[in-house]
Amino acid sequence: MTDAVSKIKETITSNDVVLFMKGTKEMPQCGFSSRVAGVLNYMGVQFSDVNVLADDGLRQGIKEFSDWPTIPQLYVKGEFVGGCDIITEMTMSGELDTLFTESGVTFDKDAAEKIREANNG
């Protein structure tokens, strides 16, 4: 097992919600990372952000670990959830709320509703 893989496993098991992204939640460095971090921040989700740009091994390692070719990648309770498109769809359908609720992750239900209203209106 590579260092990157063991680092990834440790990160996703020790944090309820982890976003592997380009940049940080305060300073995202790509539009897709910014969108997912923005949704999580807006919904008040406590999450750990991992900047893959700071570590090439990690940047490649996370793609191999999840067998998913793109960044960002969201993990909830150690399980890979998806990238930007999947998270966006799950937010709009309410599936993300359900996942957070079932996983015991605290989030602002009103904020989640506001996102849906703003995008469906």
Q: Which residues are known binding-site members for [2Fe-2S] cluster?
A: 30
For the chain, how long is the longest CA-to-CA vector?
48
Which residue positions form the known binding site?
30
b/e burial code for range 51-80 (CB count within 10 A of at least 16 → b): bbeeeeebbebbbebbeeeebbbbbbbeeb
25 with 19: CB under 8 angstroms?
Answer: yes
Residues 6+ apart with CB under 8 A from 28: 21, 22, 34, 37, 38
Tokens matching residue 54: 């700071």
